[in-house]
Structure 1
Amino acid sequence: MSARQRAALVLAVVLVAALAACDMQQSSPTATPRPTASGPILAASPTVDPLLPSGDGNMGESVGASNPTLAGIPAEGQLLEDPPTFTPQPTSAFLPLMISASDGLVLQATFYNSPARPAPVVIMLHQVGGSRADWEPLAQRLQAAGYAVLTVDLRGYGATGGQVEWSLAQSDVAAAVSLVQDMGDVDTSHLVMVGASIGANLALNACADTSGCVGAIMLSPGLDYRGITTSDAMVRLGVRPTLIVASEGDNNNPADSLTLDGMAQGDHQLVVLSDAGHGTAMFAADPSLLDQIVQWIGARVPVP
């Protein structure tokens, strides 16, 4: 390369370097003077993220989203929710009951509720070999008429179990009467005792010894059944009304029933059927007897 060519190359390099230096100076920003504040400096307000609360209390739903939980919040003065509607429960037509006897034996019984409050009470006692189920037709009729009814399985019979001990039977009946007297929704001042055969003897004695008993009904009673007598009970009963039902040709009846009816001091009625059997068996022989008993009680112990 000649001296002239080398000098031209050096000049070209110098020119390129000078142009690059000019470009760098033009691209550097020029500082802008900051104005001096003439008033108080206010702190910046915090930025609020405009999100709706979700149903579980967290932030995360977008603006404008529908929130049924928030929509359900009541206005001021409105109940949080509608008051519940209470549907009254129907009262059971009958209830199983247990009665504690003096020796610890548990007597099984059935209590038939009455729509009347308080209602007169009728207690029914079955005959030898029977149970409280024998009284069901009469109990249902009396319940429909507005009376409360208690039927009892005496010891050794029905669901009560145990051994038959008639010496304890009167205290067992007294326990049943005491249970009824402790009930709060019955009229214990208007109690009627009903019994069949030996149950009739027990019913008469219980009524005679209970101040709230206002009448006794006896089906096929006897002057003495297994040591439970009735002549003395008729005296103690005083002027309280009695209804006696017996059948011809029934061993000691109608003779014993005629004797007891003759001892009555107050309102008394004697019904003698023809060959109708003994005790509650007379219901099958003469079904009208059921309504006769209901009418007799209704005339003397009306439902309020």
Structure 2
Amino acid sequence: MRGAIPAQLNPSSIALLAAATLAIAAGAACRRTERLPTRAEELETAGDGAAVRPVAAPDEVQDGGTAAAGLGPTPRGAARRVTFPTPDGVTLVGDWFPSPLGPAAPTLLLLHGERGRRADWQPLVERLLASPGARASVLAIDLRGHGESTATTAGTVRADELSDDPHAGLKSWSGVVTDAAAALAWLRAQPEVGPKLVVVGVDLGAVAGARAAAQAPAGHDGVAEVVGIAGLSPAELHGVAWGAETFPALAARGVHGFAVAAEDDTAEPPQGVLAVEAGLGVANTDCEVFRDGGRGLALLCRRPEVEGRLLGFLCRRLGATAEFAIPLPDGTSLRATADLSLDAGGPVVVLVHEVGRGRVSLKKLRDALAERTPYDLVSFDLRSRPATPAADADGGAGSADATPGGPAAEGATTGGTAPPGAEFMEGVPVDDPRSWWQLVRDVEQVVRAVTAGGALPAVDGGASVPRSAWALVGLGFGGTIAVAAAGNLVGDAALPPLAAVALVSPIANGHGITLWEPLGNRLRPTGVSVFAAAGARAAMSAHDLADGLGSQAKTVRSIGLMFRDRAAVRTYTSEAHAEQLIHVHADLAPAMAEFLYARVEDVLRHGLTPVAGPPPSVEPPPRPWVGAEPSKDADAGAPPAVPLVPDRVQMMPALRPNRRIPLDTLHGPRLNVPPPLVRP
């Protein structure tokens, strides 16, 4: 038979076949760190818009020190140039940014890579110290032979003179481990350094930092302890290796790791990423190898989502979580939780839970946002009320425990207390305490408390500075309330700009509150971006069976068509609602986090671009458009309110929870906005 495998193979053929098989297996094992295989996700989207616009990559210094300039000024202030010796006689030069928080400040040590310099960290340092309220202390040094660290007790040393021989003394590459250890010792002697410290390094700088952290004595009595190591393209170069004792020592201290690299890096960094993941454990690391992106700091510039993940890792290791109360004008106080980042003046994300739940229902979403965004996260309990049946004009949520006003989730807590004997109700003036609009006013007060006031009330001990931007996340009817509050706040000049809104299982109309008026007439003209997701079978009524979309899915579609390239929408083949949708679909929360980071960073760098023209109509059609096919004509008018899902689009199925999904497999196929449908 032509093409059949011979029945017998000679020994040499068997050996070649075995060698090829082993080579392919080894290559597959070290090329990527994906938790799940790459797959084309079935995703319905009405345009994800442009991501964060990349910034220029840092200039590379090929000779290791011709450009001696250090780090420039940041929004928090200029650096203090410092020098200190190493035990073997090299004088190291660095830039020191002490924190205004004093001894409670988290600290970062930045170590450049092969033939780099401390000035390469300028974009990251500017992002870390983006406001006067930035909490972190930062030290960036020039390793021996690089930048200004060329003086020694025996003369001078330059990068091109360093040798791979570990016995070459001052001129050995292995001396960079000594440099990192000297920097850690210097930091521990500074009064501005708090008890937590993270080392960030590029290629061999990451290896040197990890080894120095493992060899350093354990912190005690408030002495800084290394709690995390982060590597950008970590690699063993010039004989600077991880060592057999490094990871066991770090793991014993509970150190967490972050490591990313790209396959197009000639230094073969996947092995370094795998070493970090294997040495510290999958549960204690955030590691990934991308297909492209360059080496070291170039990854942060060419892949902005990597910067978000790195900053999120730093916030998780150096930040804090605090419980506090937000007072309201009527004497009520709302219990709240703040996940503090490293910048008290940076953006803040306000999360609003589904009505009838509590802020504890947002934990999975909070964890995903904290992992991928470097912002303060504030979640709070809406004031309590007796449970009443939902009255949603668009069909509500499909079950008692998934409707606004349904029974609270087990373990949920409530904030504040409604006036005695009063229930939230419709048909009363909006300023009546019994009106559902009372919740809208509560959200407005929370936003004002955590944005215009600067520091979080009774939580943050840093400088009180205004926020640079804010974003809003709402689930179910809580999202409707949040959007109504945002519509009232968006024109307030005392508040920072609203960069993005994210809605899960949005309810278009309920209890006299609607999404469309604030979304279309107030938020859309400002240039704000919107993320929306829902289950297609959630809140489905009898007349929805014609097109297979429930009211929440139709609301998501209409939001996507209203905001066009400023929207990212997802529709799942699911009946789950609000936080249940986040738990069932493991990719939803990370995708929302990446969207928020991209849009908030774009607003910080380039501002909002107002949108001209009236919003498209979202009035429901008189009858379902059964059997209508997309028109081939150009889009000449407003999109329909209830568009059908094109045949070429498949909805995203449920994924198994508790599985870590690589960043670049979360994005499904991008589809253009479908053309208007022709009514039959």
In the superposition, the TM-score normalised over structure 2's length comes to 0.31
2:528 matches 1:240:
yes
What is residue 188 of structure 1 aligned with on the other side?
467
User: SS in structure 2 opposite 1:202?
Assistant: helix
CA distance in 2, matches of 1:260, 1:87: 47
1: distance between equivalents of 2:507 and 2:357?
17
Distance 2:575 2:568 in 1: 18
1:253 aligns with 2:552: yes
Report what 1:162 is aligned to: 417
Could you tell me which amino acid in structure 2 is paired with residue 171 of structure 1?
Answer: R
147-156 or 205-214, larger mean C-alpha shift: 205-214
- The residue that corresponds to 1:107 in the other structure is 334
Aligned-residue offset at 1:223: 1.6
Q: Deviations over 1:181-238 (max 9, x none)?
A: 2124676232110000111112222333334211110111122122221110112102
Q: Over residues 128-163 of structure 1, what are the superposed CA-to-partner deviations in whole Å (9 max), with x where a residue is unaligned?
A: 221111222222332343111000100007241413
Return the alpha-carbon distance in structure 1 between the equivalents of residues 488 and 356 of structure 2: 26
In the alignment, the residues of structure 2 paired with residue 290 and residue 115 of structure 1 have an alpha-carbon distance, to the nearest angstrom, of 22
Confirm or deny: 8 A CA contact 1:109 1:153 kept in the other structure: yes
1:298 matched to which residue of 2?
597
Question: Deviation per CA, 1:243-286, whole angstroms, max 9, x where unpaired?
Answer: 11011111122122223333336601210011150111111110
Calculate the TM-score normalised by the size of structure 1: 0.66
Contact 2:532/2:570 (8 A) holds in 1: yes
Q: CA deviation at 1:124?
A: 0.3
Match of 1:176 in 2: 446
Per-residue Cα deviation, 1:19-75 (whole angstroms, up to 9, x for no partner): xxxxxxxxxxxxxxxxxxxxxxxxxxxxxxxxxxxxxxxxxxxxxxxxxxxxxxxxx
Aligned pair in 2 of structure 1 residues 276, 290: CA closer, same or farther (>3 Å)?
Answer: farther
Measured after TM superposition, the shift of residue 120 of structure 1 is: 1.3
Are 2:472 and 1:200 equivalent residues in the alignment?
no
Flag the 1:141–1:223 CA change in 2: closer, same or farther, 3 A.
closer
Q: What's the offset of the Cα at 1:292?
A: 0.5
Q: 1: distance between equivalents of 2:367 and 2:484? A: 25
Out of 321, 324, 328, the residue aligned to residue 97 of structure 1 is 324
Letter in 1 for 2:591: Q
**Once the 2 structures are TM-superposed, how far is the Cα of residue 117 of structure 1 from its aligned partner?**
4.8
Go from structure 1 to structure 2 and tell me whether the alpha carbon gap of 1:187 and 1:121 turns closer, same or farther (over 3 Å shift).
Answer: farther
Judge conservation of contact 1:240–1:266 (CA < 8 Å) in 2: no
Contact 2:348 2:375 survives alignment (8 Å): yes
The one-character-per-residue Cα deviations of 1:86-141 (angstroms, maximum 9, x if unpaired) are 66256761111211223221111111100245321110001122111122222233
Q: Distance in 1 between matches of 2:190 and 2:342?
A: 26
Within-5 A mapping of 1:1-304: 88=194, 93-144=320-371, 145-156=373-384, 158-163=413-418, 165=424, 166-181=436-451, 182-184=453-455, 188-211=467-490, 212-235=497-520, 236-238=522-524, 239-251=527-539, 252-264=551-563, 267-302=566-601
Q: Secondary structure at the match of 2:570?
A: strand
Q: What one-letter code is carried by the residue in structure 1 that aligns with 2:486?
A: C
In structure 2, distance between residues paired with 1:192 and 1:270: 17
Residue type of the alignment partner of 1:109: A
Q: Describe the SS at the equivalent of 2:469.
A: strand
Matched residue type, 2:499: V
Give the equivalent residue in structure 1 for 2:108.
none
CA distance in 2, matches of 1:152, 1:174: 12
Q: Is the 8 A contact 1:247 1:276 kept in 2?
A: yes
1-side partners of 2:559 and 2:192: how far apart?
54
- Does the CA-based 8 Å contact 2:319-2:341 persist in structure 1? no
In structure 2, relative to structure 1, the CA distance for the partners of 1:270 and 1:98 (3 Å cut) is same
- The verdict on how the C-alpha distance between 1:85 and 1:93 changes in structure 2, with shifts beyond 3 A counting, is closer
Q: CA–CA distance in 2 between the matches of 1:92 and 1:260?
A: 35
CA distance in 2, matches of 1:116, 1:274: 39
What letter is aligned with 2:517? D
CA distance in 1, matches of 2:568, 2:575: 18
Q: Percent identity?
A: 22
Alignment partner of 2:438: what SS?
helix
- Equivalent residue number for residue 43 of structure 1: none
The DSSP-based 3-state class of the residue aligned with 1:262 is helix
Structure 1 distance, partners of 2:478, 2:511, is 11
| Structure-2 separation of matches of 1:142 and 1:85 | 32
Assess if the C-alpha contact under 8 Å between 2:364 and 2:583 holds in 1: no
- Greater RCO (CA < 8 Å, at least 6 residues apart): 2
**SS at structure 1 position matched to 2:467:** strand
- 1:119 match: secondary structure: coil
3-state SS of paired residue (1:264) = helix
The amino acid that maps onto 1:130 is: R
- Structure 1: gaps spanning 5 or more residues: 1-82
The amino acid across from 1:221 in the alignment is P
2-structure distance, mates of 1:206, 1:189: 19
Residue 177 of structure 1, CA deviation: 0.5
The letter for the 1-side match of 2:534 is: A
Q: 1:237 to 1:89 in 2, by over 3 A?
A: same
Is this contact kept in 2: 1:218–1:245, CA < 8 A?
yes
SS at match of 2:356: coil
Query: In the alignment, residue 138 of structure 1 is paired with which amino acid?
Result: L
Which whole-Å CA distance do the structure 1 matches of 2:589 and 2:365 have between them? 6
